[in-house]
Structure 1
């Protein structure tokens, strides 16, 4: 596995509440986007990713029979730690974070997902969104009460319906799919996906460039559009 990434504070925020994990040897990757007052969001995303990294140490010494169960356990462990820290640390009450994790294991991609960070698959010149945004606005779209066009500029589009660390227990979206040689998985926070459409990402990925250059181009587009939020993107390239 090879991975390239961009990690930017953006043009408005003073601190970066995104956090990411790249473990190429374990084929394990994640992005997290924290929320909360002051620097609490930054703390939440950092704790979540650190918990995943700690859990990943098991992968070198354990024969994991069910990777989906393992991912769910890892995300739940991260959720409990963020929640418990928020209860005992002043100024972090109610903090939370998104978390989207990818594991490539035994010719399968396994995904664990909470929040509105995203994971896409680029395969055969086609970009597919694999994850579902856990946001209040997306819930309205899913129920048919709001059109996708109106959702794009809805004033409450950033309000999450599900986030890590807000409650002791969390529902984790978890799924798997077979991987193919040449697949590229894109993990990103909403500071990236809110500023660049899926069509624009696909058009860029269709160009004959290195993956570093693809992300550099997309980074510049986000910055040119004002980059109102922190943004992180990781391209995970399946090479066999």
Structure 2
């Protein structure tokens, strides 16, 4: 990364929530390869879990990339393999299953966020939170077309209808944003089980005031206290100031724990 590798710390948690019997979310924390992922499966009892697990299982084989473009290429290759596997499972079961995905790739001082569906990636920079990803949902499309207002979107009856996901078609529709990593940046990846109960401002407050582990645990407790109507998964990556800690260089080991 640049001339000095910036230190980082990351953590992830996942919970089935207060109502669901099964956790169909999956997540991946792979600092050695510069990859963090959340996935929210769909398709009925246990099928969603299979889809999200397929994504994580394939992405966990990326290994150490030689460059940022190589990392991106490896990501897309593994996601394509997961898509094919999920499609095959869907065919054998006679039903459509799939999963959202939201990923952070980091290498050589740069980041890329890639997503399909309504799982999100946030960036907190200079005491301000912004949503990097843009939901692939029916309600977001209506907003973009100016057919409904922001206020109407909040009460829209089909807010959870997603328009893109991995495993639902032969072609994967993935959006991405990229940029430079800055000291003090905080990335938050989450499934919609978090954002259904917690505001962006609350996510920011939790992330900036605690370690990644404590922030993830605090946000999870907040969701559960408010009813936890869905599975919830949170991954948080906090960038330091370059003075100590582990870096994003792929040849250095990571130090975070998994929740």
Q: TM-score, normalised by structure 2?
A: 0.84
Higher RCO, Cα 8 Å, sep 6+: 2
Pick aligned residue for 2:80 from 58, 76, 81: 76
Structure 1 residue runs of 5 or longer lacking an equivalent are none
How many Å separate the matches in 1 of 2:148 and 2:75? 32
Greater helix share, 1 or 2? 1
Match of 1:10 in 2: 17
> SS of the counterpart of 2:40?
strand
Match of 1:152 in 2: 154
Q: Given that residues 165 and 173 in structure 2 are in contact (C-alpha distance below 8 angstroms), is that contact kept between their aligned partners in structure 1?
A: no
Counting matched residue pairs gives 234
Match of 2:98 in 1: 96
Match of 1:22 in 2: 29
Q: TM-score, normalised by structure 1?
A: 0.91
| Cα distance change, pair 225–87 in 1 and its aligned pair in 2 (3 A) | same
How many Å separate the matches in 2 of 1:25 and 1:68? 15
Structure 2 residue runs of 5 or longer lacking an equivalent are 1-7, 243-259
Match of 2:231 in 1: 230
Match of 1:118 in 2: 120
> SS of the counterpart of 2:173?
coil
Task: Please report how far the alpha carbon of residue 204 of structure 1 lies from its aligned counterpart in structure 2 after TM superposition.
Answer: 3.0
Task: Please report how far the alpha carbon of residue 63 of structure 1 lies from its aligned counterpart in structure 2 after TM superposition.
Answer: 4.8
How many Å separate the matches in 2 of 1:78 and 1:35? 15
Match of 1:38 in 2: 45
How many Å separate the matches in 1 of 2:69 and 2:225? 46
Indicate the RMSD between aligned Cα atoms, in angstroms: 1.7
Match of 2:217 in 1: 216
